[in-house]
Structure 1
Amino acid sequence: MTRDAEAPDTVCPVARSLDIVGDRWTVLVIRELSMGATRFEEIQIQTKATPQMLAARLKSLEASGMIERHPYSEKPLRHEYRLTDKGWAFYPVIYALRKWGEIWSKDESEEVAVRFVHRECGHDVGLGTVCPGCGVQVERKDLEASMSDQFAAERAERRAVFKRK
Protein backbone atom coordinates (compact mmCIF):
# COMPACT_ATOMS: atom_id res chain seq x y z
CA MET A 1 0.00 0.00 0.00
CA THR A 2 1.36 3.39 -0.87
CA ARG A 3 1.21 6.39 1.42
CA ASP A 4 -1.69 7.86 -0.55
CA ALA A 5 -3.50 4.48 -0.71
CA GLU A 6 -3.37 4.63 -4.49
CA ALA A 7 -2.32 1.85 -6.81
CA PRO A 8 1.42 2.04 -7.43
CA ASP A 9 2.37 3.58 -10.76
CA THR A 10 5.55 1.54 -11.08
CA VAL A 11 6.84 -1.98 -10.62
CA CYS A 12 10.13 -0.60 -9.25
CA PRO A 13 10.58 -1.97 -5.71
CA VAL A 14 12.74 1.00 -4.67
CA ALA A 15 10.07 3.50 -5.68
CA ARG A 16 7.38 1.42 -3.99
CA SER A 17 9.45 1.19 -0.81
CA LEU A 18 9.95 4.94 -0.81
CA ASP A 19 6.18 5.36 -0.98
CA ILE A 20 6.12 3.82 2.51
CA VAL A 21 9.38 4.92 4.16
CA GLY A 22 10.69 7.66 1.91
CA ASP A 23 11.07 10.57 4.30
CA ARG A 24 13.25 11.51 7.25
CA TRP A 25 10.46 11.41 9.83
CA THR A 26 9.27 7.93 8.93
CA VAL A 27 12.78 6.50 9.11
CA LEU A 28 13.39 8.20 12.47
CA VAL A 29 10.10 6.82 13.81
CA ILE A 30 11.16 3.32 12.79
CA ARG A 31 14.57 3.93 14.39
CA GLU A 32 12.90 4.85 17.67
CA LEU A 33 10.58 1.86 17.59
CA SER A 34 13.53 -0.44 16.93
CA MET A 35 15.34 1.12 19.92
CA GLY A 36 12.43 0.29 22.20
CA ALA A 37 10.39 3.50 22.28
CA THR A 38 6.71 2.63 22.04
CA ARG A 39 4.84 5.72 23.18
CA PHE A 40 3.94 8.79 21.18
CA GLU A 41 5.64 11.27 23.53
CA GLU A 42 9.00 9.46 23.59
CA ILE A 43 8.99 9.04 19.80
CA GLN A 44 8.14 12.73 19.42
CA ILE A 45 10.90 13.78 21.84
CA GLN A 46 13.61 11.79 20.09
CA THR A 47 12.60 12.55 16.50
CA LYS A 48 11.74 16.22 17.16
CA ALA A 49 8.66 15.77 14.98
CA THR A 50 5.64 17.98 15.55
CA PRO A 51 2.63 16.14 17.00
CA GLN A 52 0.79 16.48 13.69
CA MET A 53 3.74 15.18 11.67
CA LEU A 54 4.26 12.24 14.00
CA ALA A 55 0.56 11.35 14.08
CA ALA A 56 0.50 11.35 10.27
CA ARG A 57 3.60 9.13 10.04
CA LEU A 58 2.26 6.67 12.61
CA LYS A 59 -1.08 6.48 10.80
CA SER A 60 0.70 5.86 7.49
CA LEU A 61 2.99 3.20 8.99
CA GLU A 62 -0.01 1.47 10.52
CA ALA A 63 -1.92 1.59 7.21
CA SER A 64 1.05 0.04 5.41
CA GLY A 65 1.38 -2.77 7.97
CA MET A 66 4.73 -1.60 9.38
CA ILE A 67 3.41 -0.99 12.91
CA GLU A 68 0.50 -1.92 15.12
CA ARG A 69 -1.24 0.12 17.81
CA HIS A 70 -1.91 -1.46 21.19
CA PRO A 71 -3.90 0.26 23.96
CA TYR A 72 -2.04 0.75 27.23
CA SER A 73 -4.59 3.03 28.94
CA GLU A 74 -8.38 2.98 28.75
CA LYS A 75 -9.11 6.32 30.46
CA PRO A 76 -7.93 8.26 28.63
CA LEU A 77 -7.49 5.91 25.70
CA ARG A 78 -3.79 5.84 24.84
CA HIS A 79 -1.88 3.58 22.48
CA GLU A 80 1.66 2.36 22.18
CA TYR A 81 3.19 1.43 18.86
CA ARG A 82 5.09 -1.72 17.96
CA LEU A 83 6.85 -2.84 14.84
CA THR A 84 5.25 -5.74 12.99
CA ASP A 85 7.30 -8.41 11.26
CA LYS A 86 7.16 -6.19 8.17
CA GLY A 87 8.45 -3.25 10.23
CA TRP A 88 11.27 -5.31 11.74
CA ALA A 89 12.20 -6.45 8.24
CA PHE A 90 13.14 -2.80 7.56
CA TYR A 91 15.74 -2.86 10.35
CA PRO A 92 18.66 -3.82 8.06
CA VAL A 93 18.05 -0.53 6.23
CA ILE A 94 18.32 1.37 9.54
CA TYR A 95 21.49 -0.58 10.34
CA ALA A 96 22.96 0.22 6.92
CA LEU A 97 22.16 3.94 7.39
CA ARG A 98 23.85 3.77 10.79
CA LYS A 99 26.99 2.24 9.28
CA TRP A 100 27.09 4.75 6.42
CA GLY A 101 26.53 7.64 8.85
CA GLU A 102 29.27 6.44 11.22
CA ILE A 103 31.74 6.33 8.32
CA TRP A 104 30.73 9.32 6.21
CA SER A 105 28.77 11.78 8.38
CA LYS A 106 30.85 12.18 11.50
CA ASP A 107 33.93 13.91 12.74
CA GLU A 108 36.75 11.48 13.53
CA SER A 109 36.80 12.67 17.14
CA GLU A 110 33.21 11.48 17.73
CA GLU A 111 32.55 8.11 19.29
CA VAL A 112 30.41 5.45 17.66
CA ALA A 113 26.90 6.49 18.76
CA VAL A 114 25.60 2.98 19.44
CA ARG A 115 27.72 -0.11 19.98
CA PHE A 116 26.30 -3.57 19.45
CA VAL A 117 27.60 -6.61 21.29
CA HIS A 118 26.70 -10.12 20.20
CA ARG A 119 24.72 -11.57 23.13
CA GLU A 120 25.85 -15.11 22.44
CA CYS A 121 29.62 -14.59 22.54
CA GLY A 122 30.08 -11.07 23.94
CA HIS A 123 32.02 -9.58 21.01
CA ASP A 124 31.43 -6.06 19.70
CA VAL A 125 30.21 -6.47 16.12
CA GLY A 126 31.41 -3.01 15.12
CA LEU A 127 29.59 -1.74 12.05
CA GLY A 128 29.16 -5.13 10.46
CA THR A 129 26.47 -7.76 10.44
CA VAL A 130 28.78 -10.69 11.08
CA CYS A 131 30.21 -11.18 14.55
CA PRO A 132 34.01 -11.01 14.34
CA GLY A 133 34.27 -13.26 17.40
CA CYS A 134 32.30 -16.27 16.25
CA GLY A 135 31.57 -15.56 12.58
CA VAL A 136 27.78 -15.72 12.96
CA GLN A 137 25.49 -13.51 10.87
CA VAL A 138 23.66 -11.37 13.45
CA GLU A 139 20.25 -9.72 13.51
CA ARG A 140 19.01 -6.99 15.85
CA LYS A 141 17.50 -9.55 18.23
CA ASP A 142 20.98 -11.08 18.67
CA LEU A 143 22.57 -7.82 19.80
CA GLU A 144 22.81 -5.85 23.02
CA ALA A 145 22.93 -2.12 22.30
CA SER A 146 24.73 0.50 24.36
CA MET A 147 24.80 4.19 23.57
CA SER A 148 27.89 6.33 23.76
CA ASP A 149 27.90 8.84 26.60
CA GLN A 150 27.49 11.64 24.05
CA PHE A 151 24.45 10.05 22.36
CA ALA A 152 22.84 9.14 25.71
CA ALA A 153 23.35 12.73 26.92
CA GLU A 154 21.86 14.12 23.70
CA ARG A 155 18.76 11.94 24.14
CA ALA A 156 18.45 12.85 27.85
CA GLU A 157 18.71 16.55 26.99
CA ARG A 158 15.87 16.19 24.47
CA ARG A 159 13.70 14.68 27.22
CA ALA A 160 14.64 17.46 29.64
CA VAL A 161 13.85 20.20 27.11
CA PHE A 162 10.52 18.56 26.29
CA LYS A 163 9.58 18.32 29.99
CA ARG A 164 10.36 22.04 30.50
CA LYS A 165 7.97 23.08 27.71
Structure 2
Amino acid sequence: MGDPGDDTLCPIAHSTGLVGDRWSILIVRELLIGQGRFQDLQAQTGATSQMLAARLKRLEADGLVERHAYSQRPLRHEYRLTPKGRHLMPVILALRTWGEQWVKSEGEPTATRMFHRTCDTELELDGQCPSCKILVPWTEMRGQPSQAWAEERARRAAAFSDNLRKA
Protein backbone atom coordinates (compact mmCIF):
# COMPACT_ATOMS: atom_id res chain seq x y z
CA MET A 1 0.00 0.00 0.00
CA GLY A 2 1.24 3.53 -0.82
CA ASP A 3 1.27 6.65 1.25
CA PRO A 4 -2.03 7.26 3.12
CA GLY A 5 -2.34 10.61 1.34
CA ASP A 6 -2.20 9.01 -2.12
CA ASP A 7 -5.96 8.48 -2.39
CA THR A 8 -7.02 12.09 -1.79
CA LEU A 9 -6.96 15.40 -3.59
CA CYS A 10 -5.98 17.13 -0.34
CA PRO A 11 -2.62 18.93 -0.78
CA ILE A 12 -2.07 18.94 2.99
CA ALA A 13 -2.19 15.13 3.06
CA HIS A 14 0.26 14.95 0.15
CA SER A 15 2.59 17.56 1.69
CA THR A 16 2.71 15.94 5.11
CA GLY A 17 3.51 12.67 3.38
CA LEU A 18 6.73 14.30 2.20
CA VAL A 19 7.76 16.52 5.11
CA GLY A 20 5.29 15.82 7.89
CA ASP A 21 7.71 14.61 10.55
CA ARG A 22 10.10 16.34 12.94
CA TRP A 23 13.28 15.03 11.32
CA SER A 24 12.41 16.10 7.78
CA ILE A 25 11.41 19.59 8.92
CA LEU A 26 14.62 20.00 10.96
CA ILE A 27 16.71 18.78 8.02
CA VAL A 28 15.03 21.33 5.75
CA ARG A 29 15.62 24.05 8.38
CA GLU A 30 19.32 23.21 8.46
CA LEU A 31 19.62 23.10 4.69
CA LEU A 32 17.87 26.47 4.42
CA ILE A 33 20.50 28.02 6.71
CA GLY A 34 23.37 26.47 4.79
CA GLN A 35 24.24 23.35 6.78
CA GLY A 36 24.56 20.57 4.22
CA ARG A 37 27.09 18.07 5.50
CA PHE A 38 25.85 14.88 7.11
CA GLN A 39 27.78 15.39 10.35
CA ASP A 40 26.51 18.96 10.73
CA LEU A 41 22.94 17.88 10.01
CA GLN A 42 23.22 15.12 12.59
CA ALA A 43 24.72 17.44 15.23
CA GLN A 44 22.05 20.12 14.83
CA THR A 45 18.98 17.89 14.42
CA GLY A 46 19.89 15.26 17.01
CA ALA A 47 18.82 12.50 14.61
CA THR A 48 20.58 9.16 14.68
CA SER A 49 22.73 8.43 11.64
CA GLN A 50 20.22 5.80 10.49
CA MET A 51 17.26 8.20 10.87
CA LEU A 52 19.11 11.01 9.11
CA ALA A 53 20.24 8.78 6.23
CA ALA A 54 16.70 7.47 5.75
CA ARG A 55 15.15 10.95 5.76
CA LEU A 56 17.77 12.33 3.37
CA LYS A 57 17.16 9.42 0.97
CA ARG A 58 13.43 10.08 1.09
CA LEU A 59 13.85 13.83 0.59
CA GLU A 60 16.18 13.12 -2.33
CA ALA A 61 13.79 10.58 -3.89
CA ASP A 62 10.94 13.08 -3.56
CA GLY A 63 12.97 15.79 -5.33
CA LEU A 64 13.49 18.15 -2.39
CA VAL A 65 17.21 17.49 -1.88
CA GLU A 66 20.21 16.83 -4.13
CA ARG A 67 23.53 15.26 -3.17
CA HIS A 68 26.77 16.90 -4.30
CA ALA A 69 30.25 15.42 -3.79
CA TYR A 70 32.57 17.72 -1.89
CA SER A 71 35.39 15.17 -1.46
CA GLN A 72 36.53 12.36 -3.77
CA ARG A 73 38.92 10.58 -1.38
CA PRO A 74 37.09 9.58 0.64
CA LEU A 75 33.89 10.18 -1.32
CA ARG A 76 31.70 12.48 0.77
CA HIS A 77 28.56 14.34 -0.11
CA GLU A 78 26.77 17.41 1.06
CA TYR A 79 23.09 18.00 0.61
CA ARG A 80 21.39 20.99 -0.98
CA LEU A 81 17.77 21.90 -1.42
CA THR A 82 16.30 21.87 -4.90
CA PRO A 83 13.92 24.69 -5.90
CA LYS A 84 11.10 22.42 -4.67
CA GLY A 85 12.83 22.14 -1.29
CA ARG A 86 13.68 25.84 -1.06
CA HIS A 87 10.02 26.66 -1.54
CA LEU A 88 9.37 25.12 1.87
CA MET A 89 10.71 28.36 3.35
CA PRO A 90 7.21 29.84 3.90
CA VAL A 91 6.28 26.67 5.81
CA ILE A 92 9.39 26.95 7.99
CA LEU A 93 8.66 30.65 8.58
CA ALA A 94 5.06 29.83 9.55
CA LEU A 95 6.28 27.20 12.04
CA ARG A 96 8.79 29.72 13.41
CA THR A 97 6.10 32.36 13.86
CA TRP A 98 3.68 29.94 15.51
CA GLY A 99 6.42 28.56 17.78
CA GLU A 100 7.55 32.03 18.85
CA GLN A 101 3.96 33.01 19.69
CA TRP A 102 2.60 29.84 21.26
CA VAL A 103 5.36 27.43 22.29
CA LYS A 104 8.20 29.43 23.83
CA SER A 105 8.46 30.03 27.54
CA GLU A 106 7.97 33.56 28.89
CA GLY A 107 11.17 35.57 28.48
CA GLU A 108 12.87 33.02 26.22
CA PRO A 109 14.86 34.84 23.51
CA THR A 110 13.98 34.73 19.83
CA ALA A 111 16.09 32.17 18.00
CA THR A 112 16.27 33.90 14.63
CA ARG A 113 15.83 37.53 13.69
CA MET A 114 14.52 38.20 10.20
CA PHE A 115 15.44 41.31 8.19
CA HIS A 116 14.13 42.96 5.05
CA ARG A 117 16.95 42.73 2.49
CA THR A 118 15.88 46.00 0.82
CA CYS A 119 16.12 48.31 3.84
CA ASP A 120 17.84 45.99 6.39
CA THR A 121 15.09 46.63 8.95
CA GLU A 122 14.24 43.85 11.37
CA LEU A 123 10.86 42.38 10.50
CA GLU A 124 7.98 41.88 12.84
CA LEU A 125 7.15 38.26 13.61
CA ASP A 126 4.43 38.24 10.95
CA GLY A 127 6.87 39.41 8.25
CA GLN A 128 5.78 43.06 8.23
CA CYS A 129 8.51 45.62 7.63
CA PRO A 130 8.00 48.52 10.06
CA SER A 131 9.96 50.88 7.79
CA CYS A 132 8.44 50.02 4.41
CA LYS A 133 4.97 49.18 5.80
CA ILE A 134 4.71 46.04 3.64
CA LEU A 135 4.42 42.30 4.17
CA VAL A 136 7.83 41.14 2.96
CA PRO A 137 7.94 38.06 0.71
CA TRP A 138 10.23 35.29 1.97
CA THR A 139 12.51 35.79 -1.04
CA GLU A 140 13.32 39.28 0.27
CA MET A 141 14.08 38.16 3.85
CA ARG A 142 17.44 37.54 5.48
CA GLY A 143 17.76 35.53 8.68
CA GLN A 144 20.27 36.01 11.45
CA PRO A 145 20.53 33.68 14.42
CA SER A 146 20.32 35.39 17.78
CA GLN A 147 23.44 35.25 19.91
CA ALA A 148 21.72 32.77 22.24
CA TRP A 149 20.80 30.40 19.40
CA ALA A 150 24.24 30.75 17.78
CA GLU A 151 25.82 29.79 21.12
CA GLU A 152 23.41 26.86 21.52
CA ARG A 153 24.30 25.62 18.03
CA ALA A 154 28.03 25.96 18.73
CA ARG A 155 27.65 23.96 21.97
CA ARG A 156 25.69 21.26 20.13
CA ALA A 157 28.35 21.03 17.38
CA ALA A 158 31.17 20.87 19.94
CA ALA A 159 29.43 18.17 21.98
CA PHE A 160 28.78 16.15 18.84
CA SER A 161 32.46 16.43 17.80
CA ASP A 162 33.57 15.42 21.30
CA ASN A 163 31.31 12.36 21.19
CA LEU A 164 32.76 11.37 17.78
CA ARG A 165 36.31 11.63 19.11
CA LYS A 166 35.46 9.50 22.13
CA ALA A 167 33.78 6.81 20.01
Query: Which of 125, 144, 147 is equivalent to 2:145?
Result: 147
| Identical counterparts, % of pairs | 51
Aligned-pair distance for 1:122?
A: 1.5
What's the Cα RMSD here? Answer: 1.7
After superposition, the C-alpha distances for 1:36-82 in whole angstroms (9 at most, x for unaligned) are 10111111100000000000000000000111111111111111111
Query: Which of 60, 63, 74 is equivalent to 2:61?
Result: 63
For residues 29-44 of structure 1, what are the structure 2 equivalents within 5 Å?
A: 29-44=27-42
Structure 2: unaligned runs, 5 residues or longer: none
Letter in structure 1 aligned against 2:83: D
Structure 1: unaligned runs, 5 residues or longer: none
Cα distance 1:133–1:7, how it changes in 2: closer, same or farther (>3 A)?
A: closer
2:67 and 2:79 in contact (8 A); partners too: yes
After TM superposition, the runs of 4+ consecutive aligned structure 1 residues lying more than 4 A away are 4-7
Aligned-pair distance for 1:136?
A: 4.1
TM-score w.r.t. length of structure 2:
0.90
Match status 1:95 vs 2:93: yes
User: Hey, what's the Cα distance between the residues in 2 that align with 1:74 and 1:7?
Assistant: 39
Letter in structure 2 aligned against 1:161: A
The residue aligned with 2:130 is 132
Query: Which of 109, 112, 116 is equivalent to 1:111?
Result: 109
Query: Which of 3, 9, 19 is equivalent to 1:11?
Result: 9
Bigger fraction of residues in helix:
2
Name the count of aligned residue pairs: 162
